[in-house]
Each structure stands twice: as C-alpha cells, then as structure tokens.
C-alpha cells in the first residue's frame, strides 16, 4: 500500500517542484536548469535501455519492435501538438489568453502512458520524476506569463500532475491493460527513447557538450546502472 502511494504521489510532487523552480529560475537560460535537463535525459535513457528494453524483449513475441516504433511515431505527433515541452522547449505564444487545449491533450497522453510501467520499478519512477521536474518548470513559465487566470493555471497543472498517477492506477486496476502491459510498455519505450535522445542532442548549443554537461550525462547513466 505504501509503495503504491509512493508511486502515485511522487509524480505529483515533481510537478509542484517544477512550478517552484519556475518562480526562481528562468528555464532555458539558467545553466543549472540545463544541467538538470541533461541529467534527466541521460537517466531516463539509461533506465529505458538497461531495464525496460530487456524486460519487454524477455516476452516470447516478435512484434515488440513494432510497438516501440509506434511509440516513437506517437511521440513525434505529440510533440507537434505540444511544441516540444517534453524535452525542454515551448514555442506557443505567451500573450494569448486562449486556453492551450492541444498542449494539455498532448502532455496528458504523454504523462498517462509514462505512468503505466511504474508499477514496481523504482528506478524508472525516479527517472520519470527527474524528467517531469524540468518539463513542469518550462510549462509553468509559459502558463504564468500567459494571460490565463490563476484558476486555469492551477487546473492545468493539477490535471497534468494527475495523469501519471492515473496511468499507474489504470495499470494496476484495469485487467485488459495489465494483460497487454508488455505492448503498452513497448510503446512507452519508444516515447522515452525519442524524448531522452532529443534532450541529449539539444542540451548543448550546436550539439556540443562542455565538461559540466558531459559530467552530468555520465552521472545520470551511472546512477541508473548502479542504484
């Protein structure tokens, strides 16, 4: 029971931390924020390759690769709608008072799916949480500087924060999802591969890495392996 509560609450806490970071830092221009983003990409990629991939390929089914590719394609579509907030970018107009419905739908689908594999894997849970913090910070900066009311901003962030726990709950309580979980996890692998590699390639200007960013990327990979 406590483990399930931990899985459900930690992603929500990550969104709250991201919002607090947005109040004190300027995501996108802060060196510390960029390092956090690079670390999250490396950690998420390492957990995906070291743990999720071997798990799904342990199943005697040759169709797993198709679902991984579907996950990659799905993430490309979602990023077209979200303008890249999943990997630290956002290109919506901030002066608009229109509620960003497409952004909410895209992020909700992404967050819902990433909650499905979190049933018992704490390494992946930590990777998702570390990834969600900078995403929530970027999102919060956009919402705070938009013309949306505080009530709409609160509702947006709350809905976004609840999606990952909802995915975990559905995985644990809906039989058909549990039955086909290996295929859902394969789709999530495709999503994670696209997001994490995009973060790493975009974490430095002109795709070059300075010593600090290279260090946090190596650290993220090592932590995912040893912890």
Mean pLDDT of the chain: 82
pLDDT at 74: 94
pLDDT of 29 > 60? The answer is no
Give CA–CA dist 117/107, Å, rounded. Answer: 17
Could you give the number of structural domains in the chain?
1
Q: Assign residue 209 a region (left: φ > 0; alpha: ψ between -120 and 50; beta: otherwise).
A: beta
pLDDT of 88 > 70? The answer is no
pLDDT band at 158 (very low <50, low <70, confident <90, very high): very high
| C-beta of residue 225 within 8 angstroms of C-beta of residue 50 | yes
pLDDT of 2 > 50? The answer is no
Stronger pLDDT, 146 or 88, i.e. the higher one? 146
pLDDT of 95 > 80? The answer is no
Q: Rg of the Cα trace of the chain?
A: 17
What is the domain extent for residue 140? 2-226
pLDDT band at 16 (very low <50, low <70, confident <90, very high): very high
For 174-216, the three-class secondary structure string (H helix, E strand, C coil) is CHHHHHCHHHHHHHHHHHHHHHHHHHHHHCCHHHCCCHHHHHH
pLDDT band at 90 (very low <50, low <70, confident <90, very high): low
pLDDT of 92 > 70? The answer is no
């Amino acid at each position: 029971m406590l483990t399930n509560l931990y899985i459900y609450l930690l992603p929500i806490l990550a969104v709250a931390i991201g919002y607090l970071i947005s109040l004190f830092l300027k995501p996108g221009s802060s060196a510390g924020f960029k390092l956090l983003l690079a670390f999250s990409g490396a950690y998420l990629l390492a957990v995906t390759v070291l743990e999720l991939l071997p798990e799904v390929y342990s199943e005697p089914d040759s169709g797993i690769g198709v679902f991984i590719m579907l996950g990659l394609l799905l993430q490309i579509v979602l990023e077209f709608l979200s303008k890249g907030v999943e990997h630290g970018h956002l290109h919506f107009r901030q002066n608009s008072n229109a509620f960003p419905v497409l952004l909410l739908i895209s992020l909700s689908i992404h967050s819902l799916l990433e909650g499905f594999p979190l049933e018992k894997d704490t390494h992946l849970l930590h990777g998702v949480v570390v990834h969600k913090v900078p995403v929530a910070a970027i999102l919060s900066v956009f919402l705070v500087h938009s013309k949306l009311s505080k009530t709409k901003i609160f509702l947006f962030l709350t809905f976004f924060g609840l999606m990952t726990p909802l995915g975990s709950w559905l995985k644990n309580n809906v039989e058909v999802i549990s039955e086909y979980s290996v295929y859902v996890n394969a789709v999530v692998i495709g999503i994670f591969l696209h997001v994490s590699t995009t973060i790493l390639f975009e974490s430095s200007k002109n795709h070059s890495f300075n010593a600090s960013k290279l260090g946090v990327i190596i650290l993220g990979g090592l932590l995912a392996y040893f912890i």
